[in-house]
Amino acid sequence: MSPWVAEAPDPPAQEGTWLEPAGLRLPKLEIPDAVWKIYPDLSHAHDWEAAIEATSFVPDEVVAQLCEALGLIGTPEDCAGRIAEMTKLGVRNLYLMPFQTFAAPTAEIRAFRDVVFPRLHAAGLR
């Protein structure tokens, strides 16, 4: 398996309880019906604007908290630093999903090839 594919433990039986052990305290949100009507799903929506509108009920501060806790968001340099920090905490694998899942991740691949991987290699990480 590639060292850049995430392996997460199985979530607890009670839905949503994995967030608190990860340090996230999110408000209870009612998911509107519009979310369930996005085809085929939110990450692969044929109508990207409809998907964005359907998820607009999530407050910006919640989105920011989720991105900070669970995402690699920022410049390639930021991502390399974040990956280095995560390896110190025991993370050994990552799953990378670009913002636009319906398009080739050309920019992301280039950023990892040209910036992220060389920085990780220079830090003694593979």
For the chain, 126 residues long, give each residue's pLDDT as a single digit of tens.
444 444 444 444 445 566 777 778 888 899 999 999 999 988 888 898 999 999 999 999 999 888 888 888 889 999 999 999 989 888 888 888 787 777 888 999 999 999 999 999 999 997
Residues 6+ apart with CB under 8 A from 91: 83
Q: How far is CA 121 from CA 81, 96, 124, 126, in A?
A: 12, 18, 5, 6
Residue 117 structure tokens: 């991987």
CA separation for the pair 85, 110 (Å, rounded) = 22
Residue 98 DSSP SS3: coil
